[in-house]
Amino acid sequence: MIVEQLRITGQEEIAPRIYRMTLEGDSVQTMTEPGQFVHVKVSDGIDPLLRRPISICDVSQDKQELTIIYRAEGRGTRLLAAKKTDDTLDVLGPLGQGFPLDSLQKGSTALLVGGGVGIPPLYYLAKKLVKRGVNVRTILGFRQSEDIFLQKEFRELGDIIVTTEDGSKGVHGFVTDAMNQAEKPYDSFFTCGPVPMLRAVKAAAASDGFISLEERMGCGVGACLACVCEASDATSQEGKKYRKICSDGPVFRAGEVVI
Amino acid sequence: MINMNRELPGLSMKNPVMPASGCFGFGQEYARFYDLNKLGAITVKAVTAEERAGNPVPRVAETESGMLNAIGLQNPGLEHVLQHELPWLEQYDIPVIVNVAGNTMEDYIYVSETVSRVKNVSALELNISCPNVKVGGIQFGSDPAIAAELTKKVKAVSQVPVYVKLSPNVTDIVEMAKAVEEAGADGLSMINTLLGMKIDINTGKPVIANRTGGLSGPAIKPVAVRMIYQVSQAVDIPIIGMGGIHTADDILEFLMAGASAVAIGTANFVNPFACPELISSLETRMAELGIDDVESIVGRSWKTCSSVSLSSR
Ligand SMILES: Cc1cc2nc3c(=O)[nH]c(=O)nc-3n(C[C@H](O)[C@H](O)[C@H](O)COP(=O)(O)OP(=O)(O)OC[C@H]3O[C@@H](n4cnc5c(N)ncnc54)[C@H](O)[C@@H]3O)c2cc1C
Ligand SMILES: Cc1cc2nc3c(=O)[nH]c(=O)nc-3n(C[C@H](O)[C@H](O)[C@H](O)COP(=O)(O)O)c2cc1C
Ligand code: FES
Neighbours of B144 (CB within 10 A): 18
Which residues of chain A does B271 touch, with a Cβ-Cβ cutoff of 8 Å?
3
Dihedral angle sign, alpha carbons of residues A235, A238, A240, A244: negative
Determine the distance separating the centroid of ligand 3 and the alpha carbon of B118, expressed in angstroms.
28
User: What pLDDT score was predicted for residue A94?
Assistant: 98
- Residue B192 annotated as binding site: yes
The residues with which B251 forms a beta bridge, in sequence order, are none
Closest residue, chain B, to A39 (C-alpha): B270
- ipTM here: 0.95
Closest atom of ligand 1 to CA, residue A212: 1
pLDDT digits (tens, 9 = 90+) for A67-119: 999 999 999 999 999 999 999 999 999 999 999 999 899 999 999 999 999 99
Per-residue confidence band for B136, with pLDDT thresholds at 50, 70 and 90: very low
Distances (CA, A) of A146 to A109, A116, A142, A169: 30, 12, 9, 9
Which is more confidently placed, A20 or A240?
A: A20
Distances (CA, A) of A71 to A169, A193, B5, B106, B138: 21, 13, 48, 50, 46
Rounded distance between C-alpha atoms, residue A140 and residue A199, angstroms: 16
Q: Is the pLDDT of residue B188 over 70?
A: yes
Which residues of chain B does A244 touch, with a Cβ-Cβ cutoff of 8 Å?
none
User: What pLDDT score was predicted for residue B304?
Assistant: 65
H or E element that contains A136: strand A135-142
Which residues of chain B does A224 touch, with a Cβ-Cβ cutoff of 8 Å?
22-23, 25, 60, 69, 71, 269
Share of chain B above pLDDT 90, in %: 90
pLDDT digits (tens, 9 = 90+) for A101-115: 998 999 999 999 999
Contact (CB<8Å) B271/A3: yes
Instruction: Verify whether ligand 1 is closer than 6 Å to residue A47 (CB atom).
Output: no
Q: Are B228 and B257 in contact (CB under 8 A)?
A: yes
Least confident of A1-5, A31-35, B255-259: A1-5
Q: Is the pLDDT of residue A240 over 90?
A: no
- Residue B266 annotated as binding site: yes
Determine the distance separating the centroid of ligand 3 and the alpha carbon of A222, expressed in angstroms.
4
The shortest CB-CB distance from A226 to any of B59, B65, B217 is to: B59
Determine the distance separating the centroid of ligand 3 and the alpha carbon of B73, expressed in angstroms.
14
Is residue B135 classed exposed, middle or buried when 0-12, 13-18 and 19+ CB atoms within 10 A define those classes? Answer: middle
Closest atom of ligand 1 to CA, residue A77: 26
Instruction: Verify whether ligand 2 is closer than 6 Å to residue B241 (CB atom).
Output: no
Q: What is the DSSP string of A12-57?
A: EEEETTEEEEEEE-GGGGG--STT-EEEEE--SSSSS-S-EEEE--
Closest atom of ligand 3 to CA, residue A244: 4
Per-residue confidence band for B132, with pLDDT thresholds at 50, 70 and 90: low
Instruction: Verify whether ligand 2 is closer than 6 Å to residue B192 (CB atom).
Output: yes
Closest atom of ligand 3 to CA, residue A228: 4
Instruction: Verify whether ligand 1 is closer than 6 Å to residue A250 (CB atom).
Output: yes
Three-class secondary structure of residue B292 per DSSP: coil
Tell me the helices (H) and strands (E) count for chain B, helix number first: 11, 16
Is there a catalytic annotation at residue B275? Answer: no
Closest residue, chain B, to A47 (C-alpha): B65
The shortest CB-CB distance from A51 to any of B57, B58, B270 is to: B270
Q: Are B94 and B40 in contact (CB under 8 A)?
A: yes
One-letter identity of residue B266: T
User: Ligand 2 pocket test: which of B167, B169, B193, B245 has the largest number of ligand atoms within 8 Å of its C-beta?
Assistant: B193
Q: Is the pLDDT of residue A239 over 70?
A: no
Phi, psi of A224, deg, nearest 5: -105, -15
Rounded distance between C-alpha atoms, residue A186 and residue A136, angstroms: 9
Distances (CA, A) of B296 to A194, A244, B241, B259: 55, 43, 16, 12
Instruction: Verify whether ligand 2 is closer than 6 Å to residue B189 (CB atom).
Output: no
Determine the distance separating the centroid of ligand 2 and the alpha carbon of B131, expressed in angstroms.
10
Rounded distance between C-alpha atoms, residue B49 and residue A39, angstroms: 34
Rounded distance between C-alpha atoms, residue A64 and residue A24, angstroms: 6
| Interface probe, candidates A30, A52, A225, chain B, greatest B C-beta count within 10 A | A225
pLDDT digits (tens, 9 = 90+) for A147-179: 999 999 999 999 999 999 999 999 999 999 999
Closest atom of ligand 1 to CA, residue A18: 11
Tell me the helices (H) and strands (E) count for chain A, helix number first: 5, 17
B215 part of contact set with chain A, CB < 8 Å: no
Q: Are B21 and B165 in contact (CB under 8 A)?
A: yes
Q: Is the pLDDT of residue B134 over 70?
A: no
| Domains by residue range for chain B, with CATH | 6-54+74-195+220-303 (3.20.20.70)
pLDDT, averaged across chain A = 94
Prior bond of A48 cis (ω within 30°): yes
| Interface probe, candidates B74, B80, B130, B246, chain A, greatest A C-beta count within 10 A | B74
Rounded distance between C-alpha atoms, residue A214 and residue A229, angstroms: 9
User: Ligand 3 pocket test: which of A39, A51, A92, A227 has the largest number of ligand atoms within 8 Å of its C-beta?
Assistant: A227
Determine the distance separating the centroid of ligand 3 and the alpha carbon of A217, expressed in angstroms.
5
Q: Are B239 and B231 in contact (CB under 8 A)?
A: yes
> Which one is catalytic: B23, B130, B275, B305?
B130
- Residue B137 annotated as binding site: no
With a CB cutoff of 8 Å and minimum separation 6, the contacts of B258 are B228, B229, B231, B232, B233, B239, B241, B298, B299, B301, B302
The residues with which A254 forms a beta bridge, in sequence order, are none
Which residues of chain B does A92 touch, with a Cβ-Cβ cutoff of 8 Å?
272
| Interface probe, candidates B24, B33, B57, chain A, greatest A C-beta count within 10 A | B57
Instruction: Verify whether ligand 2 is closer than 6 Å to residue B244 (CB atom).
Output: yes
Determine the distance separating the centroid of ligand 3 and the alpha carbon of A183, expressed in angstroms.
39
Give per-residue burial for B274-295: e unless 16+ CB within 10 Å, then b. Answer: bbbebbeebeebbeeeebeebb
| Domains by residue range for chain A, with CATH | 2-95 (2.40.30.10), 101-214 (3.40.50.80)
The residues with which B60 forms a beta bridge, in sequence order, are B69
Strands (DSSP E) found in chain B: 6-8, 11-13, 17-19, 42-47, 60-63, 66-69, 96-100, 123-127, 162-165, 187-190, 194-196, 199-200, 205-206, 213-216, 239-241, 261-264
Share of chain A above pLDDT 70, in %: 96
